[in-house]
Amino acid sequence: MNYAGYFHRLLLVDLASGTSKVWTPPAELWERFLGGKGAGLKILYDLGLPGDPFSPENPLIFMTGPVTGSPIPTSARSCVVFLSPLTNSAVDSHAGGHFGPALRRLGLDGLIILGRAEKPVYLEIRPDRALVHPAEALWGQGIFATERALKERHPGAEVASIGPAGERRVRFACIGTGLWRQFGRGGAGAVMGAKNLKALVVPPGNEKVPIADEQSFHALNRKLVEDLLAHPMRKKREELGTTMWIRLAQEAGFLPTRNFRECRFEGFEGITSQAMQRELSWEPRGCFNCPIRCGKRARFDGLELEGPEYETTAFLGAN
């Protein structure tokens, strides 16, 4: 059955030969595993787990779900599935921002990247192929510099890239996208570095996520957005970001403190949302099509950054 919600197109890229092609997976993949991490893990399983996470056979499988890039709120997310060099097990790592929706605007449900390039390269993703470009000039540059350089070269594109940590195969290196969003779990950046793959560039596209019943879908979506906008927690998250959990975790007694030997931190007032608001001139910032806008644009000491989020604050603060 040709389900709506999917383009039924995954782009397969072999970095060793520099070739690529579109693969239409069997409908069973979507039926049984839906998309995102489920479908990604099934593909990883079918390819066969490589023994060494840094071997060219370890795939980087970027996947979206059936509503990624659709008008549904919080549909920004995409994931990458691979054998983790940190845990030596299969892992899924997720990011918001705009990368997943950009893939969908090209009419793709995901990317499967295999092999290793001989020299540093970046990929320009097209609907039916990937163009391989040299990236030696970018090698050694951080994520911000790389993304800015590639966006200048490819106006309107979304970029996912690695910095020196990924290049040097640091086992917890991230892939950064949209400057401030990370595929942060499991060392995806290190696997990308082992492939000599500096970045993925996804140019603008016009495809729309296929919807089976437009009328019911939009009616349901209107209701979802209305409910979300009226929910008091949405307003709180927009104002206070995910660091609102610092105070709640302190009060409830689960704030990771001193390597989680304790669950309350006497200095917690210094790392609450209120402290961030005072110190960092916060402004709310959202992922693709998200009315919650829990992200925060922060300015500090001449720098412009996003965050910090609850996990960063708790684990590098109280913990």
Residue 115 touches ligand SF4, criterion: CB under 6 A: no
- Whole-number Å distance between alpha carbons of 288 and 302: 27
**CB burial string 101-111: b at 16+ within 10 A, e below:** bbbbbbbbbbb
CA distance to 1, 142, 258, per residue, from 118 (Å): 40, 21, 44
CB 287, min distance to ligand SF4, A = 3
- Of 22-30, 114-122, 207-215, 287-295, which segment contacts ligand SF4 by CB under 6 A? 287-295
User: Can you tell me which of 190, 201, 294, 318 binds ligand SF4, judged by CB under 6 A?
Assistant: 294
Provide, rounded to whole angstroms, the least separation between the CB of residue 273 and ligand SF4.
14
307 binds ligand SF4 (CB under 6 A): no
Stretch that binds ligand SF4, among 54-62, 200-208, 223-231, 285-293 (CB under 6 A): 285-293
Q: Could you say which residues in the range 179-238 bind ligand SF4, by CB under 6 A?
A: none
Of the candidate residues 44, 150, 292, 318, the single one contacting ligand SF4 (CB under 6 A): 292
Instruction: Pick the piece of the chain touching ligand SF4 (CB under 6 A) from 135-143, 190-198, 202-210, 286-294.
Output: 286-294
Residue whose C-alpha is closest to residue 21's, from 124, 128, 135? 128
Confirm or reject binding of residue 95 to ligand SF4 (CB under 6 A): no
**Based on CB atoms, which residue is closest to ligand SF4, 116 or 297?**
297
Q: Are 197 and 15 in contact (CB under 8 A)?
A: yes
- Count, residues near ligand SF4 per rule CB under 6 A: 10
Single out the residue of 290, 298, 314, 318 in contact with ligand SF4 (rule: CB under 6 A): 290
21-29, 114-122, 185-193, 288-296 -> range binding ligand SF4 (CB under 6 A): 288-296
Which residues make up the interface to ligand SF4 (CB under 6 A)? 74, 76, 96, 286-287, 290, 292-295
